[in-house]
């Protein structure tokens, strides 16, 4: 029989805390909110070991009195609202009175605070929700909070955390987002003793932008300001020549709060439609001010989700400000004059490789017989259907590689400078030149990575790559690996890196874009093997594109290289490289047989 019991205080506190505090960065977020709500103009975040061991957030804000310190740690204790109606005119980031008690429930916390008007500071300390110290002390004006041993009493949470550099990266990105959102506050971020970010707080958004996303982006973003129907906008956004592989550089602040709502991304991206290749995104930094009564931020305890009463008005405001600027003649001219953009424009005309997956009718064309049962599976995975399949067939065992069964292809034509036609015995084959080349390069690169062979080519002119803070942190960790793969990259100050050489097969490619893309991809796919990710990305960038004429000998070489691959039938992303139409089928079409 089940009995119903009320959870004890410790358990219910931990459950409630779980909604607010998910990882070290959530602690930092709540404490940054509190510092900003206290009108701080200077905020310092210091962490050790990704914040798992130690986090200290200090501000020069108004402070809390000694008497009120214990009250601040009570659940639902807040100075920011008194009744639910106050949410209609909310001007602070916090209002739920949950952050401090939540943090205290899952870590050891010490808060020291001093008001300007008072001589003594107060100090209070909690462990596992219990007060363990409360006394007067001396300190500078403002508040500092030290959080240690996060999740020491909730091991399940602890297990979910990522590596220290990854958690540090998440915190770094958060602090940089706050710095972008609050250009009038001086932020400093120190991780394991190193100052990774410092802003002046002089209110110049472009300066913060240059500090955080790099000078190149800062110099290229268009800035527009507008106010309509009670919605005031300030927007910074990229020209169509500057694109990213994900939406991480699209930030939206509503009344100073960093918020999430898919409609905002759509509004920013819509004007770029058709101009950006598939799965490429613009950069945008958008500040929206509107009456608090027009929004609802009390959707989730972390207060980052937002609802708008008039969603359409917000959408149009963003869409219009971006669209009108993109349409402006000056912007189009600058695109045509910009050499770099020639590539972007041709990409506009040439569909991205993703969009030319051969659309074939399963009934008529069939993928190579031996590959039945290997659909949309990641190549190279242990125990993938392909591996199981190989194990099941005696003639396909490791010692007898699958390449024996690959047709002996003799090229007999090219379609649209994109697909190679080839024959072998009784079949006609169509080979996607991009996908096939990708496969060849992928295996090649993986081999070389495994052997750690270097095959670098020194660049005529070294180039400087600006990473975002999060990417830069990851780059530090990933650098030795890249440098073993044919790159020569060294730290060049702040978040910039100097590239002196690159793998020879990348000759002529846009290294800046490739490196930024690689960092983003690694960041987004933390579970995937980094070797594979790197090989996949490099292969895709270096592979011959569609609508690119190959010479006869290049075609022969490609067909030969493909036949020598371990897994020739799929590109690294799992799309087919080759399809087969057999003679029997052709004879049926021509009614030679029925
Ligand atoms: P909330 O921010 O939702 O009010 P918190 O638990 O985060 O709830 O904080 C409780 C209260 O403690 C706040 O309302 C505020 O009065 C006070 N407080 C917290 N942090 C600071 C700070 N850094 N400076 C001044 N006051 C603070
Ligand atoms: Mg708060």
One-letter-per-residue 3-state SS of 164-195: HHHHHHHHHHHHHHHHHHCCCCEEEEEECCEE
Residues sharing a CB contact under 8 Å with residue 404, sequence separation 6 or more, in sequence order: 395
pLDDT of residue 455: 66
pLDDT of residue 366: 35
Residue 142 in contact with ligand 1 by CB distance below 6 A: no
Q: Pairing state of beta strands 578-582 and 427-432? A: antiparallel
Q: Which atom of ligand 1 is nearest to the CA of 30?
A: 7
Residue 73 in contact with ligand 1 by CB distance below 6 A: no
Residue 94 in contact with ligand 1 by CB distance below 6 A: yes
Span from the CA of 257 to the centroid of ligand 2 (angstroms): 13
* CA 381 to mean position of chain CA atoms: 24
Q: Which residue has the tokens 């991304």?
A: 265
> What tokens does 424 get?
């072998």
> Do 580 and 429 meet the contact criterion of CB atoms below 8 Å apart?
yes
Residues sharing a CB contact under 8 Å with residue 372, sequence separation 6 or more, in sequence order: none
Pocket test for ligand 1, best of 72, 83, 113, 147 (most atoms within 8 A of CB): 72
474: enclosing H helix or E strand: helix 469-484
Residue 80 in contact with ligand 1 by CB distance below 6 A: yes
> Do 43 and 59 meet the contact criterion of CB atoms below 8 Å apart?
yes
Q: Tell me the pLDDT of the chain (594 aa) as tens digits.
A: 678 877 777 777 777 777 789 999 999 999 999 999 999 999 999 999 999 999 999 999 999 999 999 999 988 888 888 887 888 888 888 888 889 999 999 999 999 999 999 999 999 999 988 899 999 998 999 999 999 999 999 888 888 898 888 899 899 999 999 999 999 999 999 999 988 899 999 999 999 999 888 888 899 999 999 998 899 999 999 998 888 888 989 999 999 999 988 899 999 999 988 778 778 899 999 999 999 999 988 777 777 888 899 988 999 999 999 998 887 654 443 433 333 333 333 333 333 333 222 222 233 333 333 333 233 333 333 343 333 433 333 333 333 334 347 888 999 999 999 999 999 888 899 999 999 999 998 988 888 776 666 567 778 778 888 888 778 877 877 888 888 878 888 888 778 888 888 887 787 778 888 888 888 887 777 667 777 888 888 888 888 888 888 999 889 989 988 988 888 888 888 888 998 888 888 888 898 887
Strand partners, 410: 423
Residue 77 in contact with ligand 1 by CB distance below 6 A: yes
Span from the CA of 16 to the centroid of ligand 2 (angstroms): 15
55: enclosing H helix or E strand: strand 54-59
In angstroms, the CA 146 to CA 143 distance is 10
Q: Which residue's C-alpha comes closest to atom 14 of ligand 1?
A: 78
Pocket test for ligand 1, best of 34, 93, 97, 101 (most atoms within 8 A of CB): 34
Residue 322 in contact with ligand 1 by CB distance below 6 A: no
Pocket test for ligand 1, best of 16, 28, 37 (most atoms within 8 A of CB): 37
Residue 144 in contact with ligand 1 by CB distance below 6 A: no
Q: Which ligand is nearest to the CA of 36?
A: 1
- 361 burial (CB, 10 Å; 0-12 / 13-18 / 19+) is exposed
On the CB side of 85, CA atoms within 13 Å amount to: 0
Q: Which residue's C-alpha comes closest to atom 1 of ligand 1?
A: 97
Strand partners, 332: none
> Do 246 and 265 meet the contact criterion of CB atoms below 8 Å apart?
no
Q: Which ligand is nearest to the CA of 77?
A: 1
Strand partners, 197: 189
Pocket test for ligand 1, best of 42, 78, 103, 126 (most atoms within 8 A of CB): 78
Span from the CA of 124 to the centroid of ligand 1 (angstroms): 14
In Å, how far are 98, 253, 281, 560 from 305, measured between CA atoms? 17, 11, 21, 53
Residue 63 in contact with ligand 1 by CB distance below 6 A: yes
pLDDT of residue 487: 87
pLDDT of residue 329: 55
Span from the CA of 98 to the centroid of ligand 2 (angstroms): 7
Q: Residue length, the chain? A: 594
> What tokens does 261 get?
């709502």
Q: Which residue's C-alpha comes closest to atom 7 of ligand 1?
A: 99
Q: Which residue's C-alpha comes closest to atom 4 of ligand 1?
A: 78
Q: Helices in 227-363 by DSSP H: which ranges? A: 262-269, 311-327, 329-337, 339-349
In angstroms, the CA 27 to CA 13 distance is 16
| Beta strands per DSSP E along 403-479 | 410-415, 419-424, 427-432, 456-466
Q: Which residue's C-alpha comes closest to atom 8 of ligand 1?
A: 97
Residue 64 in contact with ligand 1 by CB distance below 6 A: yes
In angstroms, the CA 232 to CA 236 distance is 14
pLDDT of residue 505: 78
DSSP designation for 8: P
On the CB side of 264, CA atoms within 13 Å amount to: 23
Residue 97 in contact with ligand 1 by CB distance below 6 A: yes
> Do 112 and 144 meet the contact criterion of CB atoms below 8 Å apart?
yes
> What tokens does 180 get?
């972008």
Write out the DSSP string of 90-152: --SS--SS-HHHHHHHHSEEEEEEE-TT-SSEEEEEEETTEEEEEEEE---SEEEEEEESTTT
Q: Which atom of ligand 1 is nearest to the CA of 93?
A: 2
* CA 466 to mean position of chain CA atoms: 16
> What tokens does 428 get?
């006609």
Q: Which atom of ligand 1 is nearest to the CA of 77?
A: 10
Span from the CA of 36 to the centroid of ligand 2 (angstroms): 9
> Do 578 and 569 meet the contact criterion of CB atoms below 8 Å apart?
yes
Residue 24 in contact with ligand 1 by CB distance below 6 A: no
Residue 34 in contact with ligand 1 by CB distance below 6 A: yes
The radius of gyration computed from the CA coordinates of the chain, to the nearest angstrom, equals: 29
Residue 104 in contact with ligand 1 by CB distance below 6 A: no
In angstroms, the CA 594 to CA 586 distance is 11
Q: At what angle do helices 530-542 and 511-524 cross, to 10 degrees?
A: 150
């Amino acid at each position: 029989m089940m009995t119903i019991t009320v959870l004890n205080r410790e358990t219910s506190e931990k459950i409630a805390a779980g909604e607010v505090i998910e990882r070290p960065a959530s602690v930092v977020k709540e404490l940054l909110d509190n510092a900003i709500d206290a009108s701080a103009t200077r905020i310092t975040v210091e962490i050790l070991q990704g914040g798992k061991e130690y986090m200290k957030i200090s501000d020069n804000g108004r402070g809390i009195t000694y008497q009120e310190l214990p009250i601040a740690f009570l659940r639902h204790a807040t100075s920011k609202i008194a009744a639910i109606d106050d949410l209609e005119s909310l001007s602070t980031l916090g209002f739920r009175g949950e952050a401090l008690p939540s943090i205290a429930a899952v870590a050891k916390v010490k808060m020291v605070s001093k008001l300007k008007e008072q001589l003594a500071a107060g100090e209070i300390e909690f462990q596992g929700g219990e007060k363990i110290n409360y006394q007067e002390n001396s300190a500078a004006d403002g508040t500092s909070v030290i959080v240690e041993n996060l999740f020491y009493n909730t091991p399940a949470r602890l297990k979910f955390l990522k590596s220290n550099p990854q958690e540090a990266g998440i915190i770094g990105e958060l602090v940089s987002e706050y710095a972008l959102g609050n250009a009038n506050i001086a932020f400093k971020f120190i991780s394991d003793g190193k100052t990774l970010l410092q802003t002046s707080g002089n209110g110049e958004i472009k300066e913060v932008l240059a500090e955080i996303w790099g000078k190149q982006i800062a110099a290229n973003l268009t800035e527009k300001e507008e106010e309509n129907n009670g919605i005031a906008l300030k927007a910074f956004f990229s020209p169509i020549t500057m694109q990213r592989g994900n939406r991480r550089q699209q930030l939206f602040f509503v009344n100073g709060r960093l918020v999430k709502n898919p409609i905002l991304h759509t509004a920013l991206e819509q004007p770029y439609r058709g101009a950006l290749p598939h799965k490429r995104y613009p950069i945008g930094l958008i500040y929206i001010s509107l009456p608090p009564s027009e929004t609802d931020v009390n959707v989730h305890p972390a207060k980052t989700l937002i609802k708008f009463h008039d969603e359409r008005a917000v959408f149009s405001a963003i869409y219009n400000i971006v669209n009108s600027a993109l349409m402006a003649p000056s912007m189009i001219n600058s695109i045509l004059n910009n050499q770099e953009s020639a590539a972007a424009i041709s990409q506009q005309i040439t569909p991205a490789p993703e969009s030319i997956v051969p659309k074939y009718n399963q009934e008529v064309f069939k993928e190579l017989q031996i590959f039945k049962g290997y659909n949309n599976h990641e190549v190279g995975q242990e125990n993938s259907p392909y591996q199981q399949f190989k194990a099941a067939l005696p003639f396909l065992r490791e010692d007898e590689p699958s390449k024996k069964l690959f047709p002996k292809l003799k090229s007999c034509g090219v379609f649209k400078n994109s697909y190679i036609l080839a024959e072998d015995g009784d079949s006609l084959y169509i080979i996607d030149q991009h996908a096939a080349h990708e496969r060849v390069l992928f295996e090649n690169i993986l081999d070389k990575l495994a052997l750690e062979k270097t095959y670098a080519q020194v660049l005529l002119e070294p180039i400087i790559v600006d990473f975002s803070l999060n990417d830069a942190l990851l780059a530090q960790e990933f650098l030795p690996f890249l440098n073993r793969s044919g790159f020569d990259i060294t730290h060049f100050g702040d978040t910039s890196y100097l590239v002196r050489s690159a793998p020879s097969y990348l000759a002529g490619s846009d290294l800046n874009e490739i490196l930024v893309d690689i960092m983003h991809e690694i960041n987004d796919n933390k579970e995937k093997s980094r070797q594979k990710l790197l090989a996949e990305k490099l292969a895709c960038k270096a592979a011959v594109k569609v609508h690119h004429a190959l010479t006869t000998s290049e075609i022969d070489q490609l067909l030969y290289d493909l036949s020598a691959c371990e897994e020739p039938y799929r590109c690294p992303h799992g799309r087919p490289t080759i399809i087969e139409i057999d003679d029997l089928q052709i004879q049926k079409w021509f009614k030679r047989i029925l």
